[in-house]
C-alpha cells in the first residue's frame, strides 16, 4: 500500500504559492507545493487543511483535484488540490521561504522533480488577468 502525501496548489490573485524546503538535506532548498503526509483516520482533504495550518498558519478551502496520483519516492504518491486562502497570511513556519509566483515566474525557481509536472498542469488553471 502506497503512502499518500497531499499538497495544495494555493492560487490567489492570479498567483501560485510555492514553498522552499528546509529538509531533509537532499531536498533542502528545492521548491514545492505545501502539504504533507496523511495521518491514519484522516481524509486527504482533512490532512491538507491540517498541513496548511501547521506549515503556513492559514486556513484553506479545498477545490478541485489536480490530476491523479503523482509519483514521489518509492512507496509514496502525491495528491494535489487547488486551494484558496480563507484565513490568515501564509508564513514559512516549516519552510525556508515562500513565494507568490505569477504565471510568468513559475519556472524562475528550482521546483523539486516530483512537483514540476504538477506545475505544468496548474499553470493552465491559474486565472489570467
**Domains of the chain in sequence order:** 3-102 (3.90.79.10)
Which pLDDT band, with edges at 50, 70 and 90, does 129 fall under? low
Burial class (CB in 10 A: 0-12, 13-18, 19+), 40: exposed
Q: Residue 53 gets which letter from DSSP?
A: H
Q: How many CB atoms lie within 10 A of CB 97?
A: 13
- Tell me: the pLDDT tens digits for 75-114? 999 999 999 999 999 999 999 999 999 999 999 999 999 9
Indicate the pTM of the whole model: 0.95
Amino acid at each position: 500500500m502506497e503512502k499518500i502525501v497531499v499538497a495544495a496548489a494555493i492560487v490567489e490573485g492570479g498567483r501560485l504559492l510555492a514553498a522552499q524546503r528546509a529538509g531533509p538535506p537532499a531536498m533542502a532548498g528545492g521548491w514545492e507545493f505545501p502539504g504533507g503526509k496523511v495521518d491514519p483516520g484522516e481524509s486527504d482533504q482533512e490532512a491538507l487543511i491540517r498541513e496548511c495550518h501547521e506549515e503556513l498558519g492559514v486556513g484553506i478551502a479545498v477545490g478541485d483535484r489536480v490530476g491523479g496520483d503523482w509519483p514521489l519516492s518509492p512507496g509514496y504518491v502525491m495528491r494535489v488540490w487547488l486551494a484558496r486562502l480563507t484565513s490568515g497570511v501564509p508564513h514559512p513556519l516549516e519552510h525556508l521561504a515562500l513565494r507568490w509566483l505569477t504565471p510568468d515566474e513559475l519556472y524562475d525557481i528550482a521546483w523539486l522533480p516530483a512537483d514540476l509536472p504538477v506545475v505544468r498542469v496548474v499553470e493552465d488553471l491559474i486565472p489570467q488577468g
